[in-house]
Amino acid sequence: MEQMALTAPGGDHSLWALFWQAGWVVKLVMLGLLAASVWTWAIIIDKVLVFGRMRSALNRFEEVFWSGQSLEELYRSLSERKTSGMGSIFVAAMREWKKSFEKGVKSPISLQNRIDKAMDLALTREMEALESRMGFLATIGSAAPFIGLFGTVVGIMTSFQAIAASGATNLAVVAPGIAEALLATAIGLLAAIPATIAYNKLTTDAARLGLRMEGFADEFSAILSRQIDEKLPVRAAA
Protein backbone atom coordinates (compact mmCIF):
# COMPACT_ATOMS: atom_id res chain seq x y z
CA MET A 1 0.00 0.00 0.00
CA GLU A 2 1.17 3.50 -0.78
CA GLN A 3 3.06 5.10 2.09
CA MET A 4 1.72 8.44 3.26
CA ALA A 5 4.38 11.06 3.80
CA LEU A 6 4.28 12.39 7.37
CA THR A 7 3.59 16.08 7.59
CA ALA A 8 6.07 18.13 9.48
CA PRO A 9 4.75 19.62 12.74
CA GLY A 10 5.01 23.12 11.31
CA GLY A 11 3.57 22.25 7.88
CA ASP A 12 0.41 23.46 6.20
CA HIS A 13 -2.68 21.91 7.82
CA SER A 14 -5.37 23.56 5.69
CA LEU A 15 -8.10 21.39 4.17
CA TRP A 16 -6.55 21.80 0.73
CA ALA A 17 -3.15 20.71 2.03
CA LEU A 18 -4.67 17.76 3.89
CA PHE A 19 -6.34 16.64 0.67
CA TRP A 20 -3.12 16.74 -1.36
CA GLN A 21 -1.14 14.99 1.38
CA ALA A 22 -3.62 12.08 1.53
CA GLY A 23 -3.01 8.78 -0.27
CA TRP A 24 -4.47 8.14 -3.70
CA VAL A 25 -7.23 5.86 -2.36
CA VAL A 26 -8.37 8.51 0.09
CA LYS A 27 -8.20 11.15 -2.66
CA LEU A 28 -10.46 9.05 -4.88
CA VAL A 29 -12.94 8.61 -2.02
CA MET A 30 -12.96 12.35 -1.34
CA LEU A 31 -13.39 13.27 -4.99
CA GLY A 32 -16.21 10.75 -5.41
CA LEU A 33 -18.01 12.08 -2.34
CA LEU A 34 -17.56 15.68 -3.48
CA ALA A 35 -19.01 14.80 -6.89
CA ALA A 36 -21.92 13.04 -5.19
CA SER A 37 -22.49 16.10 -3.00
CA VAL A 38 -22.59 18.41 -6.03
CA TRP A 39 -25.05 16.12 -7.84
CA THR A 40 -27.13 15.86 -4.66
CA TRP A 41 -27.50 19.63 -4.46
CA ALA A 42 -28.32 19.80 -8.17
CA ILE A 43 -31.15 17.29 -7.64
CA ILE A 44 -32.40 19.12 -4.55
CA ILE A 45 -32.55 22.48 -6.32
CA ASP A 46 -34.21 20.95 -9.38
CA LYS A 47 -36.83 19.14 -7.30
CA VAL A 48 -37.65 22.25 -5.26
CA LEU A 49 -38.28 24.13 -8.50
CA VAL A 50 -40.25 21.26 -10.06
CA PHE A 51 -42.43 20.83 -6.98
CA GLY A 52 -43.05 24.57 -6.85
CA ARG A 53 -44.16 24.60 -10.49
CA MET A 54 -46.37 21.57 -9.88
CA ARG A 55 -48.13 23.26 -6.95
CA SER A 56 -48.76 26.34 -9.07
CA ALA A 57 -50.06 24.18 -11.94
CA LEU A 58 -52.42 22.31 -9.61
CA ASN A 59 -53.74 25.55 -8.15
CA ARG A 60 -54.33 27.05 -11.59
CA PHE A 61 -56.05 23.94 -12.90
CA GLU A 62 -58.36 23.65 -9.89
CA GLU A 63 -59.30 27.30 -10.26
CA VAL A 64 -60.18 26.83 -13.94
CA PHE A 65 -61.85 23.43 -13.49
CA TRP A 66 -64.20 24.58 -10.75
CA SER A 67 -64.91 27.93 -12.43
CA GLY A 68 -67.84 26.47 -14.34
CA GLN A 69 -66.17 26.20 -17.74
CA SER A 70 -67.53 23.30 -19.79
CA LEU A 71 -65.50 20.11 -19.87
CA GLU A 72 -65.37 20.16 -23.68
CA GLU A 73 -63.90 23.67 -23.78
CA LEU A 74 -61.37 22.83 -21.10
CA TYR A 75 -60.40 19.63 -22.91
CA ARG A 76 -59.89 21.45 -26.21
CA SER A 77 -57.69 24.08 -24.59
CA LEU A 78 -55.57 21.55 -22.68
CA SER A 79 -55.26 18.93 -25.41
CA GLU A 80 -53.50 21.44 -27.66
CA ARG A 81 -50.53 21.87 -25.32
CA LYS A 82 -48.35 19.91 -22.95
CA THR A 83 -50.01 19.31 -19.61
CA SER A 84 -48.91 18.08 -16.21
CA GLY A 85 -50.48 17.14 -12.91
CA MET A 86 -54.27 17.28 -12.83
CA GLY A 87 -54.30 18.55 -16.40
CA SER A 88 -52.74 15.31 -17.64
CA ILE A 89 -55.21 13.24 -15.63
CA PHE A 90 -58.13 15.27 -16.97
CA VAL A 91 -56.96 15.01 -20.59
CA ALA A 92 -56.40 11.24 -20.29
CA ALA A 93 -59.91 10.73 -18.92
CA MET A 94 -61.59 12.96 -21.49
CA ARG A 95 -59.66 11.34 -24.35
CA GLU A 96 -60.90 7.91 -23.28
CA TRP A 97 -64.40 9.32 -22.83
CA LYS A 98 -64.53 10.76 -26.35
CA LYS A 99 -63.00 7.69 -28.01
CA SER A 100 -65.47 5.41 -26.29
CA PHE A 101 -68.54 7.40 -27.30
CA GLU A 102 -67.26 7.78 -30.86
CA LYS A 103 -66.99 4.00 -31.18
CA GLY A 104 -70.23 3.34 -29.33
CA VAL A 105 -70.56 2.44 -25.67
CA LYS A 106 -72.08 -0.93 -24.89
CA SER A 107 -71.41 -1.18 -21.18
CA PRO A 108 -71.31 1.73 -18.72
CA ILE A 109 -69.28 -0.35 -16.30
CA SER A 110 -66.56 -1.08 -18.85
CA LEU A 111 -66.48 2.59 -19.85
CA GLN A 112 -66.07 3.66 -16.22
CA ASN A 113 -63.30 1.10 -15.75
CA ARG A 114 -61.43 2.31 -18.83
CA ILE A 115 -61.66 5.93 -17.71
CA ASP A 116 -60.42 5.05 -14.22
CA LYS A 117 -57.59 3.04 -15.73
CA ALA A 118 -56.59 5.96 -17.98
CA MET A 119 -56.51 8.31 -14.99
CA ASP A 120 -54.52 5.80 -12.92
CA LEU A 121 -51.91 5.52 -15.67
CA ALA A 122 -51.67 9.30 -15.99
CA LEU A 123 -51.31 9.63 -12.21
CA THR A 124 -48.59 6.98 -12.19
CA ARG A 125 -46.63 8.84 -14.87
CA GLU A 126 -46.92 12.10 -12.95
CA MET A 127 -45.69 10.47 -9.74
CA GLU A 128 -42.79 8.82 -11.57
CA ALA A 129 -41.75 12.24 -12.88
CA LEU A 130 -41.96 13.76 -9.40
CA GLU A 131 -40.01 10.94 -7.76
CA SER A 132 -37.36 10.53 -10.46
CA ARG A 133 -33.75 10.69 -9.19
CA MET A 134 -34.89 10.76 -5.58
CA GLY A 135 -33.54 7.25 -5.16
CA PHE A 136 -30.07 8.75 -5.62
CA LEU A 137 -30.65 10.97 -2.59
CA ALA A 138 -31.64 7.94 -0.51
CA THR A 139 -28.55 6.04 -1.69
CA ILE A 140 -26.17 8.89 -0.89
CA GLY A 141 -27.84 9.52 2.46
CA SER A 142 -27.29 5.91 3.54
CA ALA A 143 -24.02 5.04 1.78
CA ALA A 144 -21.94 8.24 1.89
CA PRO A 145 -20.98 7.97 5.61
CA PHE A 146 -19.71 4.41 5.09
CA ILE A 147 -17.80 5.39 1.95
CA GLY A 148 -16.19 8.21 3.91
CA LEU A 149 -15.44 5.81 6.75
CA PHE A 150 -13.74 3.48 4.26
CA GLY A 151 -11.48 6.33 3.18
CA THR A 152 -10.74 7.13 6.80
CA VAL A 153 -9.81 3.55 7.62
CA VAL A 154 -7.51 3.33 4.60
CA GLY A 155 -5.93 6.67 5.47
CA ILE A 156 -5.33 5.73 9.10
CA MET A 157 -3.81 2.38 8.11
CA THR A 158 -1.48 4.13 5.67
CA SER A 159 -0.59 6.74 8.28
CA PHE A 160 0.23 4.10 10.89
CA GLN A 161 2.40 2.23 8.41
CA ALA A 162 4.33 5.41 7.71
CA ILE A 163 4.66 6.08 11.44
CA ALA A 164 5.97 2.55 12.02
CA ALA A 165 8.48 2.92 9.20
CA SER A 166 9.79 6.25 10.52
CA GLY A 167 9.72 5.25 14.18
CA ALA A 168 8.22 8.61 15.16
CA THR A 169 5.49 8.52 17.80
CA ASN A 170 5.21 12.24 18.57
CA LEU A 171 1.56 13.41 18.57
CA ALA A 172 2.49 16.41 16.45
CA VAL A 173 3.73 13.98 13.81
CA VAL A 174 0.79 11.55 14.09
CA ALA A 175 -2.01 14.14 14.14
CA PRO A 176 -1.72 15.47 10.56
CA GLY A 177 -1.97 11.99 9.06
CA ILE A 178 -5.02 11.19 11.18
CA ALA A 179 -6.60 14.53 10.20
CA GLU A 180 -6.12 13.71 6.52
CA ALA A 181 -7.94 10.41 7.01
CA LEU A 182 -10.78 11.90 9.06
CA LEU A 183 -11.37 14.47 6.31
CA ALA A 184 -12.87 11.68 4.22
CA THR A 185 -15.48 10.98 6.91
CA ALA A 186 -16.28 14.67 7.16
CA ILE A 187 -16.87 14.90 3.40
CA GLY A 188 -19.03 11.78 3.57
CA LEU A 189 -21.22 13.41 6.21
CA LEU A 190 -21.27 16.61 4.16
CA ALA A 191 -22.84 14.64 1.31
CA ALA A 192 -25.10 12.41 3.44
CA ILE A 193 -26.77 14.91 5.77
CA PRO A 194 -28.38 17.19 3.14
CA ALA A 195 -29.26 14.15 1.00
CA THR A 196 -31.11 12.49 3.89
CA ILE A 197 -32.93 15.65 4.95
CA ALA A 198 -33.90 16.51 1.37
CA TYR A 199 -35.06 12.97 0.61
CA ASN A 200 -37.39 12.91 3.62
CA LYS A 201 -38.76 16.38 2.83
CA LEU A 202 -39.18 15.77 -0.90
CA THR A 203 -40.78 12.37 -0.34
CA THR A 204 -43.36 13.98 1.94
CA ASP A 205 -44.02 16.79 -0.57
CA ALA A 206 -44.37 14.30 -3.44
CA ALA A 207 -46.86 12.26 -1.41
CA ARG A 208 -48.94 15.37 -0.72
CA LEU A 209 -48.99 16.31 -4.39
CA GLY A 210 -49.93 12.75 -5.24
CA LEU A 211 -52.83 12.84 -2.79
CA ARG A 212 -54.11 16.06 -4.37
CA MET A 213 -54.02 14.52 -7.84
CA GLU A 214 -55.55 11.27 -6.61
CA GLY A 215 -58.35 13.21 -4.92
CA PHE A 216 -59.07 15.06 -8.15
CA ALA A 217 -59.10 11.78 -10.09
CA ASP A 218 -61.70 10.38 -7.68
CA GLU A 219 -63.85 13.52 -7.94
CA PHE A 220 -63.64 13.60 -11.72
CA SER A 221 -64.44 9.89 -11.91
CA ALA A 222 -67.63 10.56 -9.95
CA ILE A 223 -68.52 13.45 -12.29
CA LEU A 224 -68.06 11.29 -15.38
CA SER A 225 -69.98 8.47 -13.74
CA ARG A 226 -73.00 10.75 -13.43
CA GLN A 227 -72.52 11.83 -17.05
CA ILE A 228 -72.51 8.19 -18.13
CA ASP A 229 -75.75 7.52 -16.27
CA GLU A 230 -77.36 10.46 -18.05
CA LYS A 231 -76.08 9.72 -21.56
CA LEU A 232 -76.37 5.95 -21.93
CA PRO A 233 -80.16 5.65 -21.47
CA VAL A 234 -80.65 8.25 -24.22
CA ARG A 235 -78.32 6.35 -26.56
CA ALA A 236 -80.05 3.08 -25.76
CA ALA A 237 -83.44 4.54 -26.57
CA ALA A 238 -82.13 5.83 -29.87
Q: How large is the average pLDDT for residues 10-36?
A: 73
Mean local confidence (pLDDT), 59-74: 89
The SS3 assignment for 85 reads coil
Cα 92 to Cα 88: distance, rounded to the nearest angstrom: 6
Q: Residue 206: which of 122, 116, 132, 120 has the closest Cα?
A: 132
Closest of 207, 189, 206, 210 to residue 40, by C-alpha: 189
Give per-residue pLDDT as tens, 143-195: 999 999 888 888 787 777 767 776 666 655 566 667 777 888 888 999 999 99
* Mean pLDDT of the 6-34 span: 68
Q: CA geometry: angle at 163 spanning 161 and 164, to 5°?
A: 65
